[in-house]
Amino acid sequence: MFRRDFLKGTAAVLGGLTLTKPSFGNLIPSAQNVRYVEGYVFHDRNGNGKREPGDEGIANVCVSNGLEVVETDRTGKYRLPITDDSIIFVIKPSGYSVPVDKNNLPQYHYVHKPNGSPATKHEGVKPTGPLPKEVNFALRQQKEDNKFRAILFGDPQPRNQTEIDYMSHDVIEQCARDAAAVDAKFGISLGDEMFDNLQFYDALNSSIATIGLPWYNTVGNHDMNYDTPNDLASTETFQRIYGPTYYAFNYAKVHFIVLDDVVFHGQEQTGYHGEITQKQLDFVKNDLAYVPTDNLVVVAMHIPILDVNNCEALFRLLENRPHCFSMSAHTHVQQNLFIGADKGWRGSKPHHHLNHATVCGCWWGGAPDERGIPHATMSDGAPNGYSIAEFDGNKYTVTFRPASRPENEQMAIFIPETVKSGESADVMINIFAGSTRSKVEMRLNKGNWQEVPHSPAQDPYMLKIRDLEISETPPPGRKTPSPSVVDHMWKGSLPTNLGVGLHLVEVRTTDMYGQTYSDQRTFRVE
């Protein structure tokens, strides 16, 4: 039976959670020298974040301190060990929402740092004071269909307000016109929310907030306090803005885990590397114990999974899951990886990992367009942009959206403008979100379709841009990076018996999800 005497005592409200002095004792005896935090997960019927009569507790909801994961009891109560540097968070269950702040950032956590963060250039967490007697989390019921969409961002990474404005006009406004994005239920940024200048977090978040969706965030190597002695103190500003650097939440039949896979070496050594701490691995293990095996598990991180030193430790936790997918950003290229035994994965089928394109492309490099926004093409020849992930039970598809381009513009076809009569020429095709599981075909002058071989190479257009940038009269704008070898490139060839005149090449591709796209390009034979 729901208890209605819990409101005795004083209360304060922090975002979507209530801090209340309870009128009854601990449910679990305290171990010697171990301190505990306790409270309720409750149904916030009127949405004010306060636990009031009629706001019953919710049973079987997971709550974590970043290591242990416990379920609430039949009254909605939980109890966890806590230290003076802890973040307690509720793992949003399916069928419920958590409150959001003015910038649509989910408020599912309580930061406990009685003395606050160490002094750094960018402000960390202010002293939170003594631990309240109760830390309560508010949830509201919502309908969650098994089929839903989410928006994926890689590396927004603005240096300043100007680049936030680029993002607003190049990507955010496009989301508002994109029917699939408007229909999405939330968004996720895959790290490097900022480019070192952490004072611009609020401006960045207010721009993304105009999309109108709850927005989850991942910590990246450019989200760190570089003036700290070690990794432990490197994310204090991120924690002040977003909360925990790793966490989990559910939506319908999908379980999302967001990880911090960046280890900062400290201001004396500088640099960082990809690694997942043992505490996080223990959290993942404890968290997955509550996730049904037929649910899809989606793991988000910043550094690509194969660049994480101890990725096999994570593999051991995931590879027994029949439905699992992971994604990252960081490299400013787009690539679909299928990880098998040669890379340490022991699952029954290869693990799909998406290294996602970035919102900022090549850090807003390249010549500006008529709006003054750089083209930002990445080193793999793919444009900057975002993706729509669509989930249906434990199935998923991902559809790339190039920034400020039609949504069906999914490739670039390179053919010399003119070909000499009697000579052949290569047809280079860059499928921006293609993979080794993509099928690519082309036909000439409405003839028969022929499959095109997969052929990793540098993007020809990026090679032309590089030549222009190192010429005596380079175009305006920040230089683009050196062209990388593109995994999503295909190469065909033209016949040598073409007549003089204009010819048409058409290309069509079907991706790993069965989605089909087409494009065409003309050239002349002289």
Q: How far apart are CA 4 and CA 53, in angstroms?
A: 6
- Tell me what percent of the chain is helix, strand and coil, each rounded to the nearest 5: 15, 30, 55
Looking at residue 78, its amino acid is Y
Q: For domain 149-402, is the CATH number 3.40.50.300?
A: no
The two tokens of residue 326 are: 């992971």
Nearest alpha carbon to residue 324 among 289, 304, 285, 294: 294
Read off the pLDDT of each residue in 468-476 and give the average, rounded to a whole number.
93
Q: pLDDT for 2-12, tens place per residue?
A: 222 222 233 33
Least reliable range by pLDDT among 20-29, 352-361, 412-421: 20-29
pLDDT at 30 over 90: no
pLDDT at 18 over 50: no
Read off the pLDDT of each residue in 87-115 and give the average, rounded to a whole number.
98
Q: Which CATH architecture has domain 411-525?
A: Sandwich (2.60)
Paired residues of 132 in beta bridges: none
Note the pLDDT of residue 33.
72
pLDDT at 332 over 80: yes
Note the pLDDT of residue 32.
54
Q: How far apart are CA 501 and CA 525, in angstroms?
A: 5
Is 411-525 the same fold as 149-402?
no
- Kindly calculate the radius of gyration of the chain based on its CA atoms and give it in whole angstroms: 25
Pairing between β-strand 96-97 and β-strand 411-414 as defined by DSSP bridges: unpaired
pLDDT at 14 over 90: no
Note the pLDDT of residue 53.
86
Read off the pLDDT of each residue in 240-261 and give the average, rounded to a whole number.
98
Q: For the chain, which residues make up each domain, given as ranges? A: 1-140, 149-402, 411-525
DSSP of 219-244: --TTSS-SSSSSGGGTTHHHHHHH--
Q: How far apart are CA 96 and CA 71, in angstroms?
A: 15
Split at pLDDT 50, 70, 90, the class of 496 is very high
Q: pLDDT for 392-401, tens place per residue?
A: 999 999 999 9
Q: Which CATH architecture has domain 1-140?
A: Sandwich (2.60)
pTM here is 0.92
Q: pLDDT for 258-309, tens place per residue?
A: 999 999 999 988 899 999 999 999 999 999 999 999 999 999 999 999 999 9
Read off the pLDDT of each residue in 414-431 and give the average, rounded to a whole number.
97
The two tokens of residue 42 are: 């409750």
The two tokens of residue 14 are: 């922090």
42 in helix, strand or coil?
strand
Note the pLDDT of residue 2.
28
Note the pLDDT of residue 256.
99
CA-CA-CA-CA torsion sign (137, 140, 146, 152): negative
Read off the pLDDT of each residue in 342-358 and give the average, rounded to a whole number.
98
Split at pLDDT 50, 70, 90, the class of 376 is very high
Terminal CA-to-CA distance of the chain, rounded, Å?
86
Q: pLDDT for 121-138, tens place per residue?
A: 999 999 999 999 999 999
The two tokens of residue 93 are: 């269950």
Split at pLDDT 50, 70, 90, the class of 54 is confident
**Residue 337 buriedness (CB in 10 A; 0-12 / 13-18 / 19+):** buried
pLDDT at 181 over 60: yes
Average pLDDT along the chain: 93
Alpha-helical runs (H) found in 43-134: none
